[in-house]
Amino acid sequence: MKEYTREELAAQPIGHWSGEAYRAVVGRLRAELAVEELTQPHWWTLNHVAGAPGAWDRARLTERLRPFDDLGIDFEAVYDDLFAREWMREEAGRLTLTADGEAGRIRAAERNGRAHEQMHAGIGAEEYAATVDVLRRMVANLGGDGDLP
């Protein structure tokens, strides 16, 4: 990759580079999830349910996940798909993963982990944190929610 001066980099349009980063990162993660026939909403669902088994019902989980949705996802269809695969079950209105669901989540996590390793190659923790902080402050400066999800 070519090196540039700080002045050349500072003159670059952030919208272009943040968009390029979004498309590259999300594209790679979506490709990894597709190996398991999962979408990002499937992934979000699996991780939230795994992180708090029995704590989520459909409505509350949909409310939690909606801010991450940029595709107009039908979350009910995502839940129904996970039920049909027997990866998730609903007992007394509460969601839990099955053993197959947890195994699939772990396989997807391993794939995503390899993608994250590639994305972060040559980028230190301080540099990464500074980038995230700058982007969240830009979001807040423009009236968006700059708090961490």
- The pTM score is 0.85
Angle separating helix axes 75-84 and 58-65, nearest 10 degrees: 120
β-strand partners of 132: none
CA dihedral 41, 46, 48, 51 (to 10 degrees): -160
For 38-61, write each residue's pLDDT tens digit.
Answer: 999 999 999 999 999 999 999 999
Q: What confidence score (pLDDT) does residue 21 get?
A: 96
Residues 6+ apart with CB under 8 A from 72: none
Chain centroid to CA 66 = 12
* pLDDT 10s digits, 91-127: 999 999 999 999 999 999 999 999 999 999 999 999 9
